[in-house]
A and B are shown apart, each in its own frame.
Chain A
């Protein structure tokens, strides 16, 4: 079957049965793949949380931009200092700035919604949810937030009852 592949010449041995050497090579390769590019810690937990959010049938915003100290990666226990994240949706943009709170034990989230409106913003974590309202300038804040997978949900203005959610981020 592989001979039909783009009309290129057959590779000797391609139709042979998989043998012990192939098995050993694949096992070794699998270990190398895992070691050279490890899956971020807690990606599984964030994914499970994202699935819980998906059941709420909110529209998911797009992660537009992360500004973070060089070398840090979300999900790899990045330091919080000066991390700002922008999320976009066709009807709304949310920007959040993260900073350490309570001497680093918790996280402070300062956010802005644009266009500015007094929208209700909900912060969801696997352990529970908190709600606040943005002010007339679109500003909102959550203080003393636990670290861990987090998503913000915004209930849009208008009678169509649309809720948008950010992708899950790791605080």
Chain B
């Protein structure tokens, strides 16, 4: 997760183990009764799962629950996951699906409790609305704010993809984009559609000095 792992010119870095590789190794070792690598994986990948779940519109309590359940599910399915190399994708897909179900259920429950007409937009996984307050407090740097507001002008799925890949290593982009149903190869070796869109928005805003 070090910033240098994004370095497109650091070819040697690509030979290093990615999060996906470490996840595969953790599962294989766990099957042999060694749990250290899996513990490390939980520490490293929990933020990625958290933000995957939050992107489905889950509130913090629900997200907390879904992340835990996803890790517990990995233990329960440790012996039946056919493709250890795809375990990172398995985690992301499992978390995303569980989050989506929890959010949908919450909305149904809320409707039932209030007996209000169905005014919820079905199918739209609304990104959590953090409101203007927290962001203004947290993002003090002008360029951070510009980046954030530009991100929000992208299609929702692009927002989700870019949030997640910003937390991962470059070799993991493929697994991440696949897990959220974006075309494989749409980001990683190339800039990809979403990042290109983000740069177009930023160029419109006239801010060019990002490095």
Contacts and interface: CB of A to CB of B under 8 A. Distances in A.
Interface string A17-38: 1111111111111111111110
A46 interface: yes
B17 interface: no
Interface string B141-156: 0011001100100000
B8 A37 contact: no
A14 B196 contact: yes
Main secondary structure of the interface of B (DSSP, over half): helix
B8 A48 contact: no
Contacts of B86: none
A30 B163 CA distance: 7
B61 A66 contact: yes
B167 A34 contact: yes
A40 B134 CA distance: 15
A51 B68 CA distance: 8
B112 interface: no
Contact of B72 (A15, A17, A35, A50): A50
A137 to B, nearest CB: 27
Nearest to B170: A18
Given A5-B183, A29-B151, A15 B134 contact: no
Contact of A73 (B60, B76, B189, B202): B60
Contacts of A19: 8, 191
Contacts of A14: 186, 190-193, 195-196
A60 B65 CA distance: 11
B39 interface: yes
A116 interface: no
Contact of B195 (A25, A39, A55, A73): A25
A74 B163 contact: no
Interface in B14-73: 38-39, 42-43, 46-47, 50-51, 54, 60-61, 64-65, 67-69, 71-73
Interface residues of B, number: 64
Contacts of A17: 8, 189-191
A16 interface: yes
A67 to B, nearest CB: 11
A98 to B, nearest CB: 15
Contact of A13 (B39, B50, B183, B196): B196
B211 A24 contact: yes
A168 interface: yes
A43 interface: yes
Interface in B167-183: 167, 170, 182-183
Interface residues of A, number: 54
Contacts of B39: 48
A40 B60 contact: yes
A136 interface: no
A24 B68 contact: no
Nearest to A5: B183
Given A5-B183, A43-B67, A22 B8 contact: yes
Interface of B: 3, 6-9, 38-39, 42-43, 46-47, 50-51, 54, 60-61, 64-65, 67-69, 71-76, 128, 130, 134-135, 138-139, 143-144, 147-148, 151, 162-163, 165-167, 170, 182-186, 188-193, 195-200, 202, 210-211
13 contacts: A4-B183, A14-B193, A15-B191, A28-B144, A32-B138, A32-B147, A33-B51, A37-B130, A47-B46, A54-B73, A63-B65, A73-B64, A74-B60
